[in-house]
Amino acid sequence: MGEPIKRPLADYHNAIRVLRDEKKLTFREIAEWLDQFNVTADHNAVYREYTKAMPEESARDEEIKDALIEE
């Protein structure tokens, strides 16, 4: 009990999209949100999951946007 869930982060792809696109959470905030449900993921893993289907240029734009939000 209380152990991290060993499910792939891909299982949470839709939730990550909603939290990022609609709720405007940072990748770090999304990682913290997932932690509430015993899903272990750092902000880098969330970023990789969010951007894995994006063109490289769009992924870079998201990284810059996130950095500006966290300032």
Ordered DSSP codes for 31-46: HHHHHTTT----HHHH
State residue 4's pLDDT score. 54
Asked if residue 24 belongs to a domain, the reply is yes
Instruction: Please name which of 29, 30, 41, 43 lies closest in space to residue 5, comparing C-alpha atoms.
Output: 41
Asked if residue 44 belongs to a domain, the reply is yes
Asked if residue 2 belongs to a domain, the reply is no
State residue 25's pLDDT score. 95
Encoding tokens for residue 60? Answer: 């870079």
- Domain span including residue 48: 9-70
Asked if residue 49 belongs to a domain, the reply is yes
State residue 71's pLDDT score. 72
Q: What is the pTM of this model?
A: 0.78
Q: pLDDT tens digits for the chain (71 residues)?
A: 556 556 689 999 999 999 999 999 999 999 999 999 888 899 999 999 999 878 888 888 888 888 887 77
Domain count along the chain: 1
Please, is 50 exposed, middle or buried when counting C-beta atoms within 10 Å of its C-beta (0-12, 13-18, 19+)? buried
State residue 13's pLDDT score. 93
Asked if residue 4 belongs to a domain, the reply is no
